[in-house]
Amino acid sequence: MHQRYIIDTNVVFEGLTNKGGAADLVIQGWLGSWFRAMLSNALAYEYADVLSRKLSAPRWATLQPVLGTLIARAEFVPIYYSWRPASPDPGEEHLIDLAMNAGAILVTFNVKDFHQAQDSLGLIVWTPVEFVTMLSRSDP
């Protein structure tokens, strides 16, 4: 089993706000330490920014401690090298840099923005369903 994973903000948002799907299982796996989540400062700030803007104040207040737990259980990765440009969406470049610096697989709903990095850099990208399927087949 590959030991390092980057969980994109869209998966974190979906997993924290909608129970019962693959993204929820990714969050439960992260909380249960079933895998090693890798994080950069930019991604941690993005999680908080997106959740705080898209959720109501009471919902954000409820989920903020959960996000804090996720962040506390992640391994921070310094970004020593950048592979930019490697995506048609400049907003996704920090994820590519993180994945490449961490030697990690990226888990996202937004696979299309990473085709160029997959082809040119060998970046591995999985959907949440693919990731959960892998977790279910692995020994704990």
Domain boundaries, the chain: 4-137
CATH number of 4-137: 3.40.50.1010
pLDDT, one tens digit per residue, over 48-97 is 999 999 999 999 999 999 999 999 999 999 999 887 777 767 678 999 99
For 88, the token pair is 């048609």
28: helix, strand or coil: helix
pLDDT, one tens digit per residue, over 85-105 is 777 676 789 999 999 999 999
The string of DSSP codes covering 25-49 is HHHHHHHTTSSEEEE-HHHHHHHHH
The reported pLDDT for the residue numbered 139 is: 56
